[in-house]
Amino acid sequence: MATAAAGALSLLWGWLWSERFWLPQNVSWADLEGPADGYGYPRGQHILSVFPLAAGIFFVRLLFERFIAKPCALHIGIEDNGPYQAQPNAILEKVFISITKYPDKKRLEGLSKQLDWNVQKIQCWFRYRRNQDKPPTLTKFCESMWRFTFYLFIFCYGIRFLWSSPWFWDIQQCWFNYPFQPLSGGLYYYYIMELAFYWSLMFSQFTDIKRKDFLIMFVHHLVTIGLISFSYINNMVRVGTLVMCLHDVSDFLLEAAKLANYAKYQRLCDTLFVIFSAVFMVTRLGIYPFWILNTTLFESWEIIGPYTSWWLLNGLLVILQVLHVIWSYLIARIALKALIRGKVSKDDRSDVESSSEEDDMTTCTKSPCDSSSSNGANQVNGHMGSSYWAEE
């Protein structure tokens, strides 16, 4: 029994690391074990070093949010307090838990008669109750500030590294002499840091603020980790660096817009969002398909020819482009609302209701029985919403 299990495991291992899957024809793993300049050729075992590094990045994030991001948030006036608390009421709590969190007009009138409360007061109660389960602005600010800092750092590192790389200026250099392209120190650290960061996001996604696009972001992280890992193992790292840098250029702009939104710097938020939208559309719908996908699908076919992992990697790159189209649609919806209203509206994938609802809490606090506002989930106060796509 043990012998059969060992044989099956050996067969699986051999299939997993099959040269015919990972490498072009007439190339073997032995060919990539010879001496090379710099850090040699990529090795599958290098990927294992990512996991302790990802844990280290997560630990650094905790320290950063506690000792840097939080003091910055407090300095600009973001309060360190929890959500508004709704006064205990068994009848309303039962409706909230068992029936609906957003009662319609008919139900509100029925509850008003039952409790002898003003309809607006009941609306305020439901707004309070919904916000009890939502993270405070301080938490969201700290999360975004960490991502902004990392994305900005890794983008600056990447553009500095690529500026002196020949394939940045002539993308066909990604395929010349492939796969015999040795690693340099800068390329190795760039790749490993990006991969470790996305692994840390994959784990922290289950503890971070929950958003409506949780599943999309989960798929995005899986595709990104798969792309970085596969391209490293079969030494497509040159084109991989271009893909990573192309994505990082808009990510830090998004986080900057979110930071401005949380700090209620409306004009700065709107400006950053417009810049982010323009950069996103140009890079994800323009440069990515016509520069990156063109070289991976067509130029590489002519220079090195297709093989098994080539198809897999290009499939992942196409899936990534599909995600780009989905997010571009969401951005376009927000931009259209901004043109109509003259300001950036609620984020369509917000982890919480619009920040207007937080402002409605102030209104309810001042006059809980006289508020004439409608359901806070449908209002806009000119702020971009609590969060956006993240992370990518």
What CATH number does residue 100 fall under? Answer: 1.10.10.60
Mean residue pLDDT of the chain comes to: 81
Same domain? For 129 and 267 the reply is no
Q: With respect to residue 318, please indicate whether it lies within any of the assigned structural domains.
A: yes
pLDDT at 259: 95
For 179, other C-beta atoms within 10 Å of its C-beta total 18
Same domain? For 256 and 182 the reply is yes
Cα angle at 66 between 63 and 72, to 5 degrees?
Answer: 120
Domain boundary among 298, 325, 341: 341
pLDDT at 144: 93
Q: How confident is the model at residue 123 (pLDDT cuts 50, 70, 90)?
A: confident
Q: With respect to residue 359, please indicate whether it lies within any of the assigned structural domains.
A: no
**38 vs 227: which has the higher pLDDT:** 227
Same domain? For 53 and 176 the reply is yes
Mean pLDDT to the nearest integer, 247-273: 92
Q: With respect to residue 71, please indicate whether it lies within any of the assigned structural domains.
A: yes
Query: By CB neighbour count within 10 A (0-12 exposed, 13-18 middle, 19+ buried), where does 363 fall?
Result: middle
pLDDT at 169 over 90: yes
Same domain? For 70 and 108 the reply is no
In DSSP notation, 86-99 reads PPP-HHHHHHHHHT
Least confident among 176-185, 213-222, 291-300, 339-348: 339-348
pLDDT at 7 over 80: no
pLDDT at 336: 79
Same domain? For 44 and 126 the reply is no
Least confident among 83-87, 162-166, 334-338: 83-87
Same domain? For 224 and 103 the reply is no
pLDDT at 269 over 50: yes
- Listed ranges 23-37, 85-99, 340-354, 357-371; the one with the highest mean pLDDT: 85-99
> Who's near 211: CB < 8 A, 6+ residues apart?
217, 349, 350, 351, 387, 390
pLDDT at 213: 66
Same domain? For 128 and 231 the reply is no
Same domain? For 108 and 205 the reply is no
pLDDT at 293: 96
Q: With respect to residue 151, please indicate whether it lies within any of the assigned structural domains.
A: yes
pLDDT at 296: 95
Which whole-number Å values give the CA distances from 77 to 63, 137, 141, 263, 264, in the listed order? Answer: 21, 11, 12, 7, 10
Q: With respect to residue 27, please indicate whether it lies within any of the assigned structural domains.
A: no
Q: Which domain holds residue 115?
A: 90-133
Same domain? For 121 and 240 the reply is no
Contacts 24+ apart (CB under 8 A), 110-116: 115/89, 115/91
pLDDT at 388 over 50: no
Mean pLDDT to the nearest integer, 199-207: 84
Same domain? For 124 and 140 the reply is no
Which whole-number Å values give the CA distances from 308 to 18, 298, 299, 317, in the listed order? Answer: 10, 16, 17, 15
CB 120 within 8 Å of CB 370: yes
pLDDT at 307 over 60: yes
Same domain? For 123 and 213 the reply is no
Mean pLDDT to the nearest integer, 219-247: 90
pLDDT at 390 over 50: no
The percentage of residues in the chain with a pLDDT greater than 90, rounded to a whole number, is 41
> Who's near 67: CB < 8 A, 6+ residues apart?
none
**217 vs 252: which has the higher pLDDT:** 252
Least confident among 101-105, 146-150, 335-339: 335-339
Q: With respect to residue 365, please indicate whether it lies within any of the assigned structural domains.
A: no
Dihedral of the alpha carbons of 29, 33, 37, 39, in degrees to the nearest 10 = 90
**71 vs 18: which has the higher pLDDT:** 71
pLDDT at 284 over 80: yes
Report how many domains make up the chain: 2
What's the residue count for the chain? 392
**383 vs 235: which has the higher pLDDT:** 235
Q: With respect to residue 251, please indicate whether it lies within any of the assigned structural domains.
A: yes
Same domain? For 112 and 223 the reply is no
pLDDT at 191: 94
> Who's near 105: CB < 8 A, 6+ residues apart?
none
Mean pLDDT to the nearest integer, 314-323: 89
pLDDT at 194: 95
CB 272 within 8 Å of CB 253: yes
Q: CA-CA distance, 99 to 94, in Å (whole number)?
A: 7
Q: Which spans in the chain are helix H?
A: 2-16, 19-22, 50-64, 70-75, 90-98, 105-115, 119-132, 137-163, 166-169, 185-204, 214-233, 237-262, 266-282, 294, 300-303, 308-341, 355-366
CB 270 within 8 Å of CB 344: yes
Token duo for residue 307:
């093989």
pLDDT at 243: 94
Q: How confident is the model at residue 268 (pLDDT cuts 50, 70, 90)?
A: very high
pLDDT at 340: 76
Q: With respect to residue 149, please indicate whether it lies within any of the assigned structural domains.
A: yes
